[in-house]
C-alpha cells in the first residue's frame, strides 16, 4: 500500500465524457475509503458530489496525489500549478492524443487501483520559465511544461529577432517565430513545426524556427541548463506575442528581451508499471508495429 490518502481531482470542463469518468472515479475512491478533494472549478460540473473542494494551488498543499481527467491540455494547466508543491500527478485520458494522460478510461479502476496499491513509477519532467524585460525592467512572465513560443499574434507578417544561447550570439532571423520546447513539448507544437522528438529523460531544450526566411535555418537542441535570450528586433512592425503552453502571457515590443530558462521545480508524473514512451509514440503517432506482429 502507498501513503496516498488525500486524493485531489481535476477534470476537463465542457466534456460530458470527462464528467462521467469523474463520477466513476469519485465512487471508486469512496469505496476505498480515501479522502477526495475536488478542484473548485471542476466541482461546478459535479452537482451534489458531497466532497471537499479546494483551489488548484491548494490541492498541491493538501493532497498526496492529484488525478487529472482530461486531455494533455488539462494536464498542462495542472502541471504548472502542482510542480511547485511536488505533488505526484496521474492522468486519465479524456482528450485526443493523451501523451501525458496515459490511463484509458476503460481500465481506470484497474490502473488507479494499481497506483494506490503502490505499483507505479514516477517520471520527472522539467518546465520552462519565461521572463520579458523592457528597459531592464520585468514586464511579464510565465511558465510552460510544453513550450514557450514567440509569434506575431494575429498579424500575418514575419518578425525579426536575435537569438543568444548562454550569452553567445547564434543568429538573427526573420520568421513567423520560434518554438522553445522541453522534451515533453517535442511531441506537441514543436513536432508540427518540424522539430525532433526528444525522449523525456534527456535534459535538453529544443529550438524550432517557424517558417524561417532562409532554407538553412534548422532546429537546434541545447542543454537543459542553457539560458535562451531573444532580443526582439527594433524595426518590427508587429508586436510579437510570448505564449506559454499556448496561452499568451506577454505582448512584447521592439527592443524587448525574452529570457527562457529551466524551472527549478519539476513535475512528478505518475505512470502505472509498464509505461513505455516508444509504445506511446507508436500508438499516438501511428508508427508501424514490428514486422509480422
pLDDT in tens, 149-195: 999 988 778 999 999 999 999 999 999 999 999 999 999 999 999 99
User: Can you list the residues of the chain whose pLDDT is less than 70?
Assistant: 1-2, 292-293
Residues 6+ apart with CB under 8 A from 162: 169, 171, 172, 173, 230, 231, 233
Burial of 288 (0-12, 13-18, 19+ CB in 10 A): exposed
Out of 30, 72, 102, 255, the active site residue is 72
Considering only CA atoms, which of 79, 50, 67 is closest in space to residue 6? 67
Measured CA to CA, the distance from residue 95 to residue 39 in angstroms comes to 19
| Helices 108-116, 16-31: inter-axial angle, 10-degree rounding | 40
Q: What is the pLDDT of residue 119?
A: 95
**Structural domains for the chain:** 6-118 (3.40.50.10330), 127-264 (2.60.200.30)
Answer yes or no: 136 catalytic.
no
Measured CA to CA, the distance from residue 182 to residue 262 in angstroms comes to 9
Residues 246, 198, 180, CA angle at the centre, nearest 5°?
Answer: 35
pTM equals: 0.94
CA 48 from centre of chain:
31
Q: What is the pLDDT of residue 262?
A: 98
Amino acid at each position: 500500500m502507498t501513503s496516498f490518502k488525500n486524493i485531489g481531482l481535476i477534470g476537463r470542463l465542457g466534456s460530458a465524457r470527462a464528467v462521467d469518468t469523474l463520477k466513476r472515479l469519485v465512487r471508486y475512491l469512496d469505496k476505498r475509503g480515501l479522502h477526495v478533494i475536488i478542484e473548485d472549478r471542476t466541482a461546478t460540473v459535479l452537482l451534489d458530489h458531497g466532497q471537499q473542494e479546494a483551489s488548484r494551488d491548494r490541492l498541491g498543499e493538501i493532497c498526496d496525489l492529484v488525478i487529472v481527467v482530461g486531455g494533455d491540455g488539462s494536464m498542462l494547466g495542472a502541471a504548472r500549478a502542482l510542480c511547485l508543491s511536488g505533488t505526484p500527478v496521474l492522468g486519465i485520458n479524456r482528450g485526443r492524443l493523451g501523451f501525458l494522460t496515459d490511463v484509458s478510461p476503460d481500465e481506470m479502476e484497474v490502473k488507479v487501483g494499481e497506483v494506490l496499491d503502490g505499483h507505479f513509477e514516477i517520471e520527472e519532467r522539467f518546465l520552462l520559465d519565461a521572463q520579458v524585460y523592457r528597459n531592464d525592467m520585468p514586464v511579464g512572465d510565465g511558465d510552460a511544461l510544453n513550450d514557450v513560443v514567440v509569434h506575431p499574434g494575429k498579424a500575418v507578417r514575419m518578425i525579426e529577432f536575435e537569438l543568444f544561447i548562454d550569452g553567445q550570439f547564434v543568429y538573427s532571423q526573420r520568421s513567423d517565430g520560434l518554438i522553445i520546447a522541453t522534451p515533453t513539448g517535442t511531441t506537441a507544437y514543436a513536432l508540427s513545426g518540424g522539430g525532433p522528438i526528444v525522449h523525456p529523460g534527456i535534459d535538453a531544450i529544443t529550438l524550432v524556427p517557424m517558417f524561417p526566411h532562409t532554407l538553412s535555418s534548422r532546429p537546434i537542441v541545447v542543454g537543459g541548463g542553457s539560458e535562451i535570450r531573444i532580443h526582439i528586433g527594433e524595426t518590427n512592425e508587429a508586436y510579437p506575442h510570448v505564449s506559454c503552453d499556448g496561452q499568451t502571457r506577454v505582448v512584447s515590443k521592439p527592443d524587448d528581451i525574452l529570457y527562457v530558462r529551466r524551472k527549478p521545480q519539476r513535475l512528478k508524473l505518475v505512470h502505472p508499471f509498464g509505461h513505455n514512451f516508444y509504445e506511446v509514440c507508436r500508438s499516438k503517432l501511428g508508427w508501424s508495429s514490428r514486422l509480422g506482429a
